[in-house]
Amino acid sequence: MGRVSFTGARVFDGAQFRDGALLVEGGRVIGFGPPEGHVVDLGAGVIAPGFLDLQVNGSGGVAIDASCDLAVLETVCAVQARLGATGCLPTLITDTHDATVRVVEAGIAATKAQVPGFLGLHLEGPHLDLRRKGAHDPALIRPMEARDLALVIEAAAELPALMVTVAPESVTLDQIAAMAAAGVIVSLGHTDCSADVARAAMAAGARCATHLFNAMSQMGNRTPGMVGAVLAAGGFAGLIADGIHVDPLTLRVALAAKREGVFLVSDCMALAGTDLTEFHLGGRRILRAEGRLTLEDGTLAGADLTLPRAVQVLVKDVGIAEERALAMASAVPAAVIGRDDLGHLRPGARADMVHLSPDWNLQGVWRDGVAV
């Protein structure tokens, strides 16, 4: 088609809004300015970098579990693109060592096949704290062993990115340091640790926190807990901004306290992109109702959320600046996984884009300049 100009919508480049049309050619951003070539009039709203979701437990009716293979990862990434996430980290929650091996093998196969939207893997567990297990199967939670560490280090060398969520209670500082040295994004979560223990883990190499506030020790006046340590530190923190996992007022306070490094995650399950009302995960029934996903006992089990909806919550319900909310779904997660080719629409960048209406509803998605 040659050069394409996207007009009628404000253009957010990953850091700020830009004047003029967004110019795209050959799957890359050319720049901004007067329309040239084929003109696509979006009418109104915002066009932004394709969103990146670093915590996706499943989509399209399939889960990331022991049965995961290349086809499952292809399905998850394709469905996520239609939901606004042009790239994602498929996420395995606490499972057996053998299941983890199979998911890693599938991830390596997806890397070799260059599956569109596959950015790597997120292993959330099994090295967590039983006291903060959330929806994870307590029978499978266990300390990290030598074979687990070896698997993670080997996987990091084969995958585009690897995030591993651990609780300081279930790993040693030496294990954290070894993972970090191998390029693993070590994220702290599902932990009841003190702020001092969390700080020690960060000093050893952990540089992220998994779903801030959820499944972690809270901030008190005399016990800052994991939440206090995260808010006071540098580094990154994922956030489920559905208005359910974290109250909008708490979101506002947290984002005022931690001005940089917070990124949005959906924590979505296999139901994402479907009309299903329930599914089974590891033999346990997950129910979907009123915007929530829960176990039968009412425990939250992931989220019924998309990143465009999370941006909408931040802007409309929490009062966060548009630029920051959009960056939390694009530029910040790109920084977490070290991808300077993603999360922005600067000249030369891949033309991975989303179009949001004035009310922040998803209207369109492009990957490499081609409509999804």
Residue 285 lies in a domain: yes
Query: What pTM value is reported for the model?
Result: 0.97
Residue 87 and residue 9 in one domain = no
Residue 314 lies in a domain: yes
Residue 218 and residue 361 in one domain = no
CATH number at residue 62: 3.20.20.140
Hey, what are 142's tokens? 């266990």
Residue 34 and residue 161 in one domain = no
Q: What is the pLDDT of residue 271?
A: 94
Residue 367 and residue 313 in one domain = no
Residue 24 and residue 115 in one domain = no
Residue 33 lies in a domain: yes
Hey, what are 79's tokens? 């469905």
Separation between Cα atoms, residue 364 and residue 372, nearest integer Å: 8
Hey, what are 158's tokens? 């084969």
Residues noted as catalytic: 267
Residue 128 and residue 87 in one domain = yes
Residue 239 lies in a domain: yes
Q: Tokens 């030369």, residue? A: 348
Q: pLDDT tens across 274-298, in order?
A: 999 988 877 789 899 988 899 998 8
> What's the structural domain count of the chain?
2
Residue 342 lies in a domain: no
Q: What is the pLDDT of residue 1?
A: 67
Residue 341 lies in a domain: no
Residue 295 lies in a domain: yes
**Which 8-state DSSP code applies to residue 21?**
E
β-sheet bridge partners, residue 7: 41
Residues of the chain with pLDDT under 70: 1
Separation between Cα atoms, residue 67 and residue 320, nearest integer Å: 40
Report the candidate in 52, 23, 48, 36 with the shortest Cα–Cα distance to residue 347: 23
Separation between Cα atoms, residue 279 and residue 67, nearest integer Å: 15
Is the distance from CB of 266 to CB of 333 less than 8 angstroms?
no
Residue 175 and residue 230 in one domain = yes
Residue 318 lies in a domain: yes
Is the distance from CB of 183 to CB of 192 less than 8 angstroms?
no
Residue 16 and residue 157 in one domain = no
Q: Tokens 């995961």, residue? A: 68
**Which 8-state DSSP code applies to residue 245?**
S
Residue 112 and residue 173 in one domain = yes
CATH number at residue 356: 2.30.40.10
Print the domain residue range for 26.
4-48+347-371
Separation between Cα atoms, residue 312 and residue 320, nearest integer Å: 10
Report the candidate in 72, 163, 64 with the shortest Cα–Cα distance to residue 122: 163
Hey, what are 7's tokens? 């007009």
What DSSP string describes 257-313? H--SSEEE---B-TTTTS---EEEETTEEEEEETTEEEETTS-B-SBS--HHHHHHI
**In terms of DSSP H, where are the helices of the chain?**
70-82, 97-113, 146-158, 173-181, 195-204, 225-232, 248-257, 307-312, 322-328, 331-336
C-alpha distances out from residue 129 to 29, 171, 327, 330, 367, Å: 45, 10, 31, 30, 39
Judged on CB neighbours under 10 Å (0-12, 13-18, 19+), 200 is: middle
Residue 270 and residue 359 in one domain = no
C-alpha distances out from residue 124 to 8, 134, 185, 188, 297, Å: 41, 12, 12, 10, 22
Q: Which helix (H) or strand (E) holds 43?
A: none
Helix 97-113 and helix 146-158: axis angle, to 10°? 10
Residue 59 and residue 181 in one domain = yes
Residue 190 and residue 306 in one domain = yes
